[in-house]
Every structure is written in structure tokens, then in C-alpha cells.
């Protein structure tokens, strides 16, 4: 062919455009393009409007301490499919200032706040650049490489005090901060005024006030301890009568800095930690992380391992969606009986996980280049019984009970509408995006593992309300069932590991971004390796966290009673939101 | 008809309630507090009640179930304990929360390390039961336990020493028969290969 064909599956070489404002990243192991901070807005706007990269998936930073540079990494996608366009902005570490993309993509909102909070990158033009995961009295930016936590022992694991001269003892006895806290200079916890909190309340009060009628709004705190917030999560809402005019989620109560722990860990040690992100679907988390590291290592798992992986991931998806129906009932006020029914289905799948991996929830089953162990005898028959007999029948039961139920229909239809444009702009992913009419599924848009060989449909619904989100999940559970039936039919015999299992893997220098379609949306792992046993940067693009950006749009204009329903329909797990 | 969908849902709940008693009548006394009863209530085609009356009833755990590591020792002829552990430190290096502390034994005369642990501690409050230590131990010396009922009132004594961690090989082969059998076969094969290699090497030495 003489004419060069440009397909969706290719990323254009944009370094030839933009009059030299963009250069290709030529560091070995890296890909993407480097843009100057002053040209960022212009380039991204053109990419969005002219090149079709309308979905800003991930914004994060990397602290290159030896070079004295701070790098902001953007992953842009087209919602019609294809691989990522990676943009990077390099700024000096001491005065890390980058223009904010808030006006172009609202999905940058929380992610830029996170990058400011954890890395100290200032995003100029961001209207609400507060700390998000840590609190105001937090000293420093923890993901900077020169920041040290309480109980700091060494830069990287394994610690030298463990072997061969193990010095055992309670860990708090060697705490360098003595009372376990450090404050920024000039901060006194006794005289402290929570300025950011008060600003939040003030901005809530300001909206919706009618000067002529002398009415006032009421500010309500939902949470942090509340039976329907699915965890420790707070929403500050301003109400005009019963109507929500303003709503801001406040997160970070469960924050443990998963990413800093990940950078201290070796690659393999991170695997069990990923289980703790979205603890309802730990197998999917394993999947994403294994993909990212395998991409760097350049290895491919054997055929049987791929089938086992997909089987586990789809069982997880089915389980997660059925679980979310249970919560939907719960949030509608039908307290706990239906949710226990959902848990019953989950229990049977957890039995399989336990038999395979040894643990019900914290599976730690995937390894780089395969899975930890082969399916024990009898497990495949159990899975077959479930996917051919019980699971399809249960889905029909749920469909019959819920879809025609008048209470469910009256409450859910037309509630919490998110339009397609808003969903894309907010970076919503997973069922939240597909319920708004955007047929974007990573298993089809950017296939990984063996999904390109499997026969399934991308589920899409068009109203973008809570009921369509429920329908999307229901149909998706059916598709998961369909995939599972193919997988248990076709699973081949053979090895389950590429190469020899090693407790310390060699990962060449470079960067990689592995993403999977987790039950809750796009789960991505951004990893930077320097060739050492520990990752230099380990970032999790968690679907729950970014889906929550849309919560404000869903709730505004609705009734306060529907806020709980909307939150439930976003389907979050706080372990993943707060990381 | 409005309300039909709602009523059908309530009927579904009611049916489950009734089915529990129907099954009770059908299965009789064996439905509760027996191993078969527990098994029958956990099947995929169960009707009615699904739950287990813990602690009177306990779910059988699968072989791969993992909860806290223990050290395997082989019993000698005179009842002495021969720990398989060589204190190589791989478990301490692979442990994600770093809850394993090992002190290696040194020969008092030469100062060279001896392949057995002098002290071995696991802080079970920190252990996250990931099972990586057992997975990567080259000597099959550390394995994951099945005993999950270890609650205590204080955290004193939750750093387990070598005494508390050691369990006999017979216990291990009891809780994990399939794994044990596979490891024994691999071990015998390895020894046979070693012996064969020795035989081959021997005449060369003689000559």
C-alpha cells in the first residue's frame, strides 16, 4: 500500500505538529511526548478539539529527585478507542508550577488536587487547590522522595534489621518523631482554625441564597460516619428546602498512602497490597498491577494462566455487580435482607477464590508472568456448576425482582442524570460512563490478555440515570457470565507460569501504564522503574476516586434523599478512594 | 398492575423463609451441627437457609487456605526437633510488611554461619497472611497454617518466637496432604538426580 492508513489503534506522532512545541520522549523505556508548561493548555486544547483525545484518564506526577525535576504525566484517550497519548511536562522541583487543565477537563479536578497534596505540584488556575487526601496540618508532601514517614526505617525494603541479625521489638519503640506526628512550621494544633473547612462551608452557604426573598440555604454534613456512605466518607451539601444546590465530597479519612508504601516495597511485595485497594474485587486489582509490571518486563503469561486470570476477573465482576444491587436495595431503604441475598451469591464465589488462592478477599493470586498456583482439583467443576446453572438463574431472579419493582423504578428513573458529555469530561469510567451512552470498555477499546478472542458485547444504556446504571451492571453481569462460559469451556492444559518463580524480579528501567476494565471502571497502574528492585514511582488511577468527581453533577438539583442513592449507584469502595 | 412487581419481590423473600422450614423437615436432624449438614447448606443448589452457626458449626477450610506462617520441623528418632529452616532469610526479604526477624546461628569457634536459626520471630499483629514466605521458601520450611482462632486480649505475646512457631511435619502433612505429597515427590526426584550425578562424577575422581 502506498497510502499510509491512520487507524484508531495508532497514536499520531504529534511532535511533527505544534511548531516544535512538542518533542518526543526519547529516554530509554519511555514513550509519549514532552510539552513545555507554557504550551500545555494550547496543545491539550488542540488535542481535545481537533485530534479527538477527549478523555483525560490520569494525571499524576513523578519526583525525579536526582535530576531535580518534577514531571507531570497525563494520559489522554479517545473515547472511540485506541491506546494512550502520554503527555509530560517537566518543571523544576523547587518551583513546580504547571497550568491547570481544570477548564478543559473536569477529571483533572481531584487528580490535580491529589498531585498537589502528595507531590507539591502547584496547578495554576485550579479554582479549589486544597489538600484532598491528607489534612491541613500535614507537614510536607509525602510522595516527594526526600519526605520521611513516622516509623521510617530505610528507603526501601527489605530492611537490614530483619536478617541476619533480627532486632525484634514493637515498631513504635523506634519512632523518630516520638509522639508520632509532625506539623508544618508555625502550625499549632491547639490554636488551629480549620480554615479550609470554613472556606468550604462558606462557599456552600454562598450558593443559592436569594437576596430578594431573604431565604437562606442550610448546610448539611452527610458523614463521615453515616450508615449509607459505604465507609468513612463525607459530603457537604447546601440545601434549598429539600433541593441540593451544592455538594462537595470530602475524602481521605482512610488514607494510608498506598503509593509511598508501594515505592518502599519491592515489585512482588506490592501484589498483596493491591488487594487492599478495592477489597470487593481484589482479583481485578492484581490483574492491573501484574499487567503493568509485565509490560515493563516484556513477558507474557502462558495460555492457561491467561484463561485463569480472565476467569477470576470475570467472577469478580459478576460478584461486584450483584453486590452493588444489594447495596442499591439497601440505599433505597430496604434494609439488609436483600443485601444478604447478594452476599449469599458472593459467598459461593469467595469459596472458589479461597480454594484457589487461599484467601477469600485478600487473594494475592497473580504473579508476574502467570498465577501463583494451578486450580486445585474440583474447582473447575464448581465454577462450571455456578456459571451454567446458578449464576444465570440468579440474575434472572434479580431482574424479575428489581426491574419491575415499582419502588425501584419510581426512585431510580430520572435520578442523578449524567449526560454523555459530562461523563466523558468528568473522567467517569466503567458502568457509570456506559450508562450515559458512551460505549467505552477497555476490554474492547484497548484489549489486553485474551479479551480480543472472547465473544461478548459492550453494554451501553443511554439515559445516564441511576436506573440505567443498574441496568448496565445487570447486563454486564450477564456478559461476564457469557465470558465465563466460554472460558471454562476452552481453558487449555499447560503451564501457569512463564519462567521460574522468583522472589525478586528484574524490571528494566522505563515506565509503563497498565490498565484493566475493573468492575468499577478503569483501573490503571503507572509505574516508573529505574532498574532497581523497587519501583521509583507507583501510582494507582483508581476508578472509585475519579468516578466520585461526577457525584456533584449527579446530585445538584435533586432531592437530599436521592444523594444516598446516587452515591450508591456510583459504586465506590473507600479503600480505593482514599488509598 | 401497580404493585405487582413489589409484591413479587416480597413473595421471593417469603418463599425463602418457608423453604428453610420445608428443608428442615425434609432433611431432619442432620441439617444442623453435622459435617454433612454444613456441606449441604453450602451447595450451589441450596434452598432456604444458607448461614453457618459459628462457633458451634465451622466451615471446613480448603487446603490452600492460609493463615499465619509456621515453621516445619522433622521429628528425630529420640524425639528431638529438627527444624527445616536454614535461616537463609528469603522469607524475611520477601515479606511485604516485614514482620519476620531472623537471627542466624554463628559457629562460636570459627564465627561462620550455621544453617539453622538461633531466633525466629513473627509479629502476628503485622503479618498480612499473604503467604509469600511459604511460597518462596526453597526448603519447604515455612508453611501457612489453618488455625484462624488466635484472638487474644492483649498484644503482649503476639510476637511469636521459635517455640510457638514450630509445628511437626505430621501436622503439615495433615492439613495439606496434596501439597505435601507433591513436595515429597519433587524432593525424591531431586535426591535421585543428585545421587545419579554423584555416581557419574565418582569414576572421574577415582581415575
Residue-wise pLDDT for A11-67, tens only, equals 777 777 777 788 888 888 888 888 888 888 888 888 888 888 889 999 999 998 888
Calculate how close chain B gets to A157, using CA atoms only, in Å.
8
Mean pLDDT (chain A) is 86
Distance in angstroms (rounded) separating the CA atoms of residues A208 and A245? 6
Residue ending a domain, among A66, A98, A124, is A124
Please tell me which of the candidates B6, B9, B92 has its beta carbon nearest to residue A158: B92
In a domain, A340, yes or no: yes
Q: In chain B, which residues have pLDDT < 50?
A: 205-207
Chain B residues lying within 8 Å of A269, measured CB to CB: 94-96, 132
In a domain, A133, yes or no: no
A335: CATH: 1.10.645.10
Cβ distance of A382 and B136 shorter than 8 Å: no
Note which residues in 186-205 of chain B have CB less than 8 A from chain A. Answer: none
Query: Does residue A70 register a pLDDT over 50?
Result: yes
Residue ending a domain, among A100, A124, A148, is A124
Nearest to A281 by CA among A228, A233, A318, A336: A318
- pLDDT for the residue B12: 79
In a domain, A186, yes or no: no
Is the complex ipTM higher than 0.95?
no
Calculate how close chain B gets to A385, using CA atoms only, in Å.
8
Calculate how close chain A gets to B11, using CA atoms only, in Å.
10
A63: CATH: 3.30.460.80
In a domain, A360, yes or no: yes
In a domain, A226, yes or no: no
B135 touches A: beta carbon within 8 Å: yes
**Domain count for chain A:** 2
B60 touches A: beta carbon within 8 Å: no
Could you tell me if A288 and A524 are in contact, meaning their C-beta atoms sit under 8 angstroms apart? yes
Q: The cell 469530561 sits on which residue? A: A425
A361 touches B: beta carbon within 8 Å: no
- Tell me chain A's radius of gyration from C-alpha atoms: 24
The number of CA neighbours under 13 Å toward the Cβ of B141 is 20
Nearest to A460 by CA among A481, A437, A478: A437
Nearest chain A residue to B9, by CA = A401
In a domain, A217, yes or no: no
The domains found in chain B, sorted by start residue, are 1-59 (no CATH), 67-192 (3.30.70.3270)
Calculate how close chain A gets to B45, using CA atoms only, in Å.
7
Nearest chain A residue to B160, by CA = A168
Cβ distance of A401 and B8 shorter than 8 Å: yes
- pLDDT for the residue A2: 47
Query: Does residue A425 register a pLDDT over 70?
Result: yes
Q: The cell 470498555 sits on which residue? A: A441
Q: What domain range is A54 assigned to?
A: 14-124
A380 touches B: beta carbon within 8 Å: no
Read off the pLDDT of residues A340-394 as tens digits, 9 standing for 90 and up: 888 888 888 998 999 998 888 898 899 888 898 888 888 888 898 888 888 888 8
Mean predicted confidence (pLDDT) in A197-224? 76
Note which residues in 158-177 of chain B have CB less than 8 A from chain A. Answer: 159
Calculate how close chain B gets to A462, using CA atoms only, in Å.
24
Nearest chain A residue to B89, by CA = A163
- pLDDT for the residue A496: 87
Looking at beta carbons, which pairs linking B181-188 to residues 24 or more positions away fall under 8 Å?
Answer: B183/B140, B187/B140
Query: Does residue A208 register a pLDDT over 80?
Result: no
Cβ distance of B100 and A162 shorter than 8 Å: yes
- pLDDT for the residue B148: 87
Q: Give the cell for residue A284.
A: 481485578
Backbone angles phi, psi at A313, to 5 degrees: -65, -40
Residues 6+ apart with CB under 8 A from B93: A158, A162, A163, A503, A504
Cα torsion angle, A85, A91, A94, A99, sign? negative
Cβ distance of A355 and B4 shorter than 8 Å: no
Identify the residue among B3, B94, B117 best suited for mutation to test binding to A, counting A beta carbons within 10 A and taking the highest.
B94
In a domain, A136, yes or no: no
A406 touches B: beta carbon within 8 Å: yes
Distance in angstroms (rounded) separating the CA atoms of residues A328 and A564? 10
Cβ distance of B13 and A337 shorter than 8 Å: yes
- pLDDT for the residue B206: 44
Calculate how close chain A gets to B206, using CA atoms only, in Å.
36
- pLDDT for the residue A152: 78
pTM, rounded to two decimals: 0.89
Distance in angstroms (rounded) separating the CA atoms of residues A510 and A30? 5
Residue ending a domain, among A90, A124, A158, is A124
- pLDDT for the residue A1: 42
- pLDDT for the residue A193: 81
Query: Does residue A74 register a pLDDT over 60?
Result: yes
Query: Does residue A4 register a pLDDT over 70?
Result: no
In a domain, A138, yes or no: no
Each residue of A386-408: b (16+ CB within 10 Å) or e?
bbeebbbebbeebbebbeebebb
B81 touches A: beta carbon within 8 Å: no
Mean predicted confidence (pLDDT) in A492-515? 87
Cα torsion angle, A354, A572, A391, B38, sign? positive
Amino acid at each position: 500500500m502506498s497510502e499510509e492508513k491512520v487507524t484508531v489503534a495508532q497514536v499520531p506522532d504529534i511532535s511533527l505538529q505544534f511548531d516544535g512545541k512538542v518533542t518526543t520522549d526519547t529516554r530509554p523505556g519511555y514513550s509519549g511526548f514532552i510539552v513545555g508548561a507554557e504550551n500545555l493548555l494550547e496543545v491539550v486544547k488542540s488535542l481535545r478539539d481537533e485530534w479527538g483525545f477527549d478523555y483525560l484518564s490520569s494525571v499524576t506526577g513523578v519526583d525525579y529527585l536526582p535530576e531535580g525535576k518534577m514531571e507531570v504525566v497525563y494520559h489522554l484517550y479517545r473515547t472511540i478507542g485506541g491506546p494512550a497519548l502520554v503527555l509530560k511536562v517537566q518543571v523544576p522541583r523547587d518551583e513546580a508550577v504547571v497550568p491547570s487543565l481544570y477548564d478543559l477537563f473536569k477529571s483533572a479536578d481531584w487528580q490535580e488536587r491529589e498531585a498537589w497534596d502528595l507531590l507539591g505540584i502547584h496547578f495554576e488556575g485550579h479554582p479549589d487547590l486544597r489538600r484532598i487526601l491528607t489534612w491541613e496540618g500535614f507537614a510536607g508532601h509525602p510522595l516527594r522522595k526526600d519526605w520521611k514517614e513516622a516509623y521510617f526505617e530505610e528507603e526501601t525494603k527489605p530492611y537490614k534489621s530483619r536478617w541476619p541479625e533480627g532486632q525484634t521489638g514493637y515498631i513504635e519503640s523506634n519512632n523518630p518523631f516520638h509522639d508520632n506526628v509532625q506539623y508544618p512550621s508555625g502550625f499549632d494544633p491547639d490554636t488551629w482554625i480549620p480554615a479550609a473547612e470554613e472556606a468550604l462551608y462558606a462557599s456552600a452557604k454562598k450558593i443559592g441564597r436569594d437576596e430578594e426573598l431573604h431565604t437562606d440555604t442550610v448546610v448539611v454534613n452527610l458523614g463521615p460516619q453515616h450508615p449509607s456512605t459505604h465507609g468513612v466518607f463525607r459530603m457537604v451539601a447546601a440545601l434549598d428546602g429539600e433541593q441540593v444546590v451544592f455538594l462537595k465530597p470530602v475524602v481521605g479519612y482512610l488514607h494510608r498512602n498506598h503509593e509511598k508504601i508501594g515505592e518502599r516495597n519491592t515489585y512482588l511485595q506490592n501484589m498483596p497490597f493491591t488487594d487492599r485497594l478495592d477489597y470487593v474485587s481484589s482479583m481485578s486489582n492484581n490483574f492491573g498491577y501484574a499487567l503493568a509490571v509485565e509490560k515493563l518486563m516484556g513477558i507474557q503469561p502462558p495460555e492457561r494462566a491467561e484463561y485463569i486470570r480472565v476467569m477470576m476477573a470475570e467472577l469478580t465482576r459478576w460478584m461486584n455487580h450483584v453486590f452493588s444491587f444489594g447495596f442499591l436495595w439497601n440505599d433505597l431503604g430496604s434494609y439488609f435482607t436483600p443485601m444478604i441475598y447478594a452476599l449469599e451469591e458472593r459467598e459461593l464465589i469467595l469459596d472458589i477464590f479461597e480454594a484457589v488462592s487461599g484467601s477469600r478477599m485478600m487473594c494475592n493470586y497473580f504473579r508476574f508472568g502467570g498465577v501463583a498456583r494451578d486450580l486445585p482439583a474440583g474447582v473447575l467443576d464448581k465454577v462450571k456448576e455456578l456459571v451454567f446453572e446458578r449464576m444465570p438463574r440468579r440474575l434472572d431472579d434479580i431482574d424479575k425482582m428489581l426491574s419491575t419493582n415499582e419502588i425501584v423504578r419510581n426512585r431510580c428513573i430520572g435520578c442523578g442524570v449524567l449526560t454523555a458529555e459530562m461523563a466523558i469530561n468528568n473522567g467517569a469510567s466503567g458502568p457509570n460512563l456506559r450508562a450515559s451512552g458512551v460505549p467505552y470498555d477497555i476490554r474492547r477499546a484497548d484489549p489486553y490478555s485474551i479479551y480480543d478472542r472472547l465473544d461478548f458485547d459492550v453494554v451501553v444504556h443511554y439515559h445516564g440515570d441511576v436506573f440505567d446504571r443498574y441496568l448496565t451492571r445487570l447486563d454486564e453481569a450477564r456478559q461476564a457470565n457469557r465470558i465465563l462460559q466460554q472460558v471454562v469451556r476452552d481453558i487449555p492444559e499447560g503451564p501457569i507460569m512463564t519462567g521460574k518463580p522468583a522472589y525478586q524480579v528484574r524490571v528494566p528501567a522505563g515506565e509503563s501504564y497498565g490498565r484493566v476494565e475493573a468492575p468499577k471502571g478503569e483501573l490503571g497502574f503507572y509505574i516508573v522503574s529505574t532498574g532497581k528492585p523497587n519501583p521509583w514511582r507507583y501510582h494507582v488511577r483508581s476508578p472509585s476516586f475519579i468516578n466520585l468527581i461526577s457525584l456533584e453533577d449527579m446530585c445538584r438539583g435533586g432531592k437530599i434523599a436521592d444523594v444516598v442513592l446516587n452515591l450508591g449507584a456510583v459504586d465506590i469502595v473507600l479503600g480505593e478512594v482514599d488509598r | 398492575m401497580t404493585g405487582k412487581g413489589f409484591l413479587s419481590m416480597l413473595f421471593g423473600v417469603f418463599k425463602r423463609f418457608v423453604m428453610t422450614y420445608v428443608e428442615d423437615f425434609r432433611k431432619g436432624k442432620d441439617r444442623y451441627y453435622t459435617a454433612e449438614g454444613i456441606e449441604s447448606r453450602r451447595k450451589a443448589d441450596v434452598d432456604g437457609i444458607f448461614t453457618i452457626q459459628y462457633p458451634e458449626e465451622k466451615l471446613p477450610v480448603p487446603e490452600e487456605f492460609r493463615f499465619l506462617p509456621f515453621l516445619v520441623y522433622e521429628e528425630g528418632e529420640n524425639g528431638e526437633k529438627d527444624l527445616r529452616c536454614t535461616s537463609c532469610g528469603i522469607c524475611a526479604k520477601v515479606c511485604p510488611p516485614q514482620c519476620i526477624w531472623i537471627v542466624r546461628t554463628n559457629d562460636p569457634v570459627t564465627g561462620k554461619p550455621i544453617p539453622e536459626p538461633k531466633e525466629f520471630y513473627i509479629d502476628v499483629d503485622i503479618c498480612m497472611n499473604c503467604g509469600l514466605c511459604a511460597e518462596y521458601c526453597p526448603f519447604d520450611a515455612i508453611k501457612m497454617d489453618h488455625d484462624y482462632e488466635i484472638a487474644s486480649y492483649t498484644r503482649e505475646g503476639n510476637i511469636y518466637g521459635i517455640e510457638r512457631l514450630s509445628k511437626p511435619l505430621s501436622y503439615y502433612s495433615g492439613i495439606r496432604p496434596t501439597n505435601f505429597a507433591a513436595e515429597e515427590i519433587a524432593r525424591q526426584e531431586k535426591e535421585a538426580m543428585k545421587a545419579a550425578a554423584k555416581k557419574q562424577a565418582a569414576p572421574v575422581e577415582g581415575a
